[in-house]
């Protein structure tokens, strides 16, 4: 049961991080020192499953001692650089509640402590991005200017909420021939430095908390998407060259909640709670309609909001990293297994360019 590590060219990469056991995380498994996994190499992890252990292979596996800086270097550095070159980039954080997602992405606490050695991937990405921008701008021959804006939204129950404007009602996704997919009416804040970007982020993060208690939304069941749009303008001999790219930082709903949604393979969808409505029947039929025989078909059920919004980040010309956080305690075995399986499936997600090629009649 070992899957081969994929080559350099893959657009989706997976980074697995194992959190240490010691610090109190509120997880009931604290104090349980039985481990259910071992990191066997920088890209393999062995899960002590029964009857025999299973080995999983990813682009990178970080053990308990890995520093925040090294996580940033392997995951985000390259993506931030690509963003400067006009590529879109996305970093997803995935894992069970308590497995270290927030620590990896933000740092030990949500303070605006910008110099903390333990600060996470997000503040480090902001710093690096503005470092690159400043370096570019300060070049003597440079005619480049940059514009940076941020938005922060939350997807809960297939509804979109603006975390920068908690007063707004739920928003809609739209598409524009020039702008691609966007959230209509989402607040965009201009930022000029890493500190400002971080301020926007922490404001949204606080709002997420507030909303989750006052409006009865659970943050562990919602996805939060922080988007930084970078626009660069370069004028060479009167020709203005504008390039935009997006950096998406996504905090996915806790993986232990996934069993509520349709990710869990073979569970039957029950009708008793839905009673008259058998909406899910469509999902069953959908699974029967395959495209392998070259026929063209339409499926009436739309993508989830999250996949639609990030469609371009799941293949094509974007760079994507998934950080899968796991807790090593043996009590978390089930959740860890499902996280590892999700991470492996994620590598298979790809938007394929199906070309309706017709060679018949042309090679004569």
Partner 1 sequence: MAAAHSHEWRAVCEKFTNAQTLTDVESRNDPENDPFRSKYKARELLREIYCSLKSFEAGEGEEESGGQPTERPLDGQREDGLARLSGDSPAGLRAAKLGAVEYYLGVNHVDTEELSAGQEHLTNCMKLLDRCGVSSQNVSLFIHVRNQLGILWAGREEMETAQGYLETAESIYKDYMKEDGSPPTDMTEYFTTEENLLTHQERTKRFELAYTHTMYYLAQVYKNLEQTERAATYCQSTLQRQLQLNQFSPMEWALNAATLSQYYITKGRYMEGRHCLSAATVVSGLAGEVPSEAAARESETESERREQLRQKRAEIARCWIKYCRNLLQDARKLLEDNIGELDTDRQEELKRERRRDEEEEEKGRKGAVLFGSEDTFDSIASVEEKVLCLYPLDFTEARAVFLVGQNYVTQAKEYYLMDGYVTDHIEILQDHSALFRALAFFEEDLERRCKMHKRRVDMLEPICNDLNSQYYLLIRRQLMFELAETYSEMMDLKLSVANRQAETESLDNHTIKKFNHLCSASVKYFQMFLDSLCSPDGKFPEHLEEDVLRPALVARFRVARLQNRLISSIPSVQLENLNKSLENYKYVVEYCESHAAAAPVVETELELSKEMVGLLPLKINRIKAKMAANN
User: Which single residue is written with the structure tokens 């921008």?
Assistant: 133
CB of 91 to partner 1, least distance (A): 19
Residue 226: is it exposed, middle or buried by C-beta count within 10 angstroms (0-12/13-18/19+)?
A: buried
Q: Which residues contact 136 (CB under 8 A, 6 or more apart)?
A: 84, 142, 144, 146
Q: Does 242 bind partner 1 (CB under 8 A)?
A: no
The smaller minimum CB distance to partner 1, of residues 178 and 237, is found at 178
Q: Does 73 bind partner 1 (CB under 8 A)?
A: no
The smaller minimum CB distance to partner 1, of residues 69 and 234, is found at 234
**φ/ψ (deg, to 5) at 223:** -100, 135
Tally the C-alpha atoms within 13 A of residue 18's C-alpha that lie toward its C-beta.
30
The smaller minimum CB distance to partner 1, of residues 33 and 174, is found at 174
Within residues 281-310, the interface with partner 1 by CB under 8 A covers 281-282, 284-291, 293, 295-301
Member of 1, 2, 214, 266 binding partner 1 (CB under 8 A): 266
Member of 118, 271, 334, 345 binding partner 1 (CB under 8 A): 271
Pair 89, 83: CB distance under 8 Å: yes
Instruction: Read off the tokens for 269.
Output: 């969808």
Residue 264 sits at the vertex; the CA angle it makes with 261 and 265, to the nearest 5 degrees, is: 135
CB of 317 to partner 1, least distance (A): 5
CB of 154 to partner 1, least distance (A): 18
Member of 34, 70, 73, 85 binding partner 1 (CB under 8 A): 85
Q: Does 177 bind partner 1 (CB under 8 A)?
A: yes
Instruction: Read off the tokens for 184.
Output: 């209509």
**φ/ψ (deg, to 5) at 134:** -60, -40
Coil, helix or strand at residue 45: strand
Member of 180, 189, 195, 344 binding partner 1 (CB under 8 A): 180
CB of 123 to partner 1, least distance (A): 27
Q: Does 312 bind partner 1 (CB under 8 A)?
A: yes
The smaller minimum CB distance to partner 1, of residues 115 and 266, is found at 266
Full 3-state SS string of 140-202: CCCCEEEEEEEEEEEEECCEEEECCCCCCCCEEEEEECCCEEEEECCCCEECCCHHHHHHHHH
The smaller minimum CB distance to partner 1, of residues 118 and 181, is found at 181
Pair 84, 73: CB distance under 8 Å: no
Q: Does 86 bind partner 1 (CB under 8 A)?
A: yes
CB of 71 to partner 1, least distance (A): 26
The size of the interface with partner 1 (CB under 8 A), counted in residues, is 66
Q: Does 364 bind partner 1 (CB under 8 A)?
A: yes
Site residues, partner 1 (CB under 8 A): 9, 85-88, 174-181, 218, 244-245, 265-272, 275-279, 281-282, 284-291, 293, 295-301, 312, 315-317, 350-364
């Amino acid at each position: 049961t070992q899957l081969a590590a994929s080559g350099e060219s893959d657009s989706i990469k997976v980074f697995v991080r194992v959190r240490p056991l010691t610090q109190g995380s509120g997880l009931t498994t604290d104090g349980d020192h039985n481990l259910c996994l071992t990191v066997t190499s920088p890209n393999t992890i062995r899960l002590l499953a029964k009857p025999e252990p299973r080995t999983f292979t990813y682009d990178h596996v970080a053990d308990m001692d890995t520093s925040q800086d090294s996580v940033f270097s392997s995951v985000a550095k390259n993506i931030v650089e690509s963003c400067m070159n006009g590529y879109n980039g996305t970093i997803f954080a995935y894992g069970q509640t308590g497995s270290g997602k927030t620590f990896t992405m933000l740092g030990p606490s949500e303070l605006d402590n910008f110099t903390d050695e333990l600060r996470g991937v997000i503040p480090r990405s902001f710093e690096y991005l503005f470092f690159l921008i400043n370096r570019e701008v300060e070049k003597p021959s440079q005619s480049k200017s940059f514009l940076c804006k941020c938005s922060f939204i939350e997807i809960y129950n297939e509804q979109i909420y603006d975390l920068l404007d908690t007063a707004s009602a739920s928003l809609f996704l739209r598409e524009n021939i020039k702008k691609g997919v966007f959230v209509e009416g989402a607040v965009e804040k201009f930022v000029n430095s890493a500190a400002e970007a971080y301020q926007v982020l922490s404001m949204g993060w606080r709002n997420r908390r507030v909303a989750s208690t006052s409006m009865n939304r659970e943050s562990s069941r919602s996805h939060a998407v922080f988007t930084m749009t970078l626009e660069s303008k370069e004028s060479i001999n009167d020709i203005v060259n504008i390039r935009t790219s997006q950096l998406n930082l996504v905090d996915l709903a806790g993986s232990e909640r996934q069993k509520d949604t349709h990710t869990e393979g073979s569970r039957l969808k029950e009708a008793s709670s839905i009673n008259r409505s058998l909406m899910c029947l469509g999902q069953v039929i959908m699974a029967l309609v395959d495209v392998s025989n070259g026929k063209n078909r339409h499926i009436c059920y739309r993508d989830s909001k999250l996949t639609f919004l990030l469609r371009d980040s799941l293949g094509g010309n974007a760079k994507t990293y998934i950080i899968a956080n796991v807790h090593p305690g043996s009590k978390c075995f089930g959740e860890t297994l499902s996280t590892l399986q999700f991470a492996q499936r994620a590598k298979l997600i790809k938007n394929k360019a199906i070309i309706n090629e017709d060679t018949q009649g042309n090679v004569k």
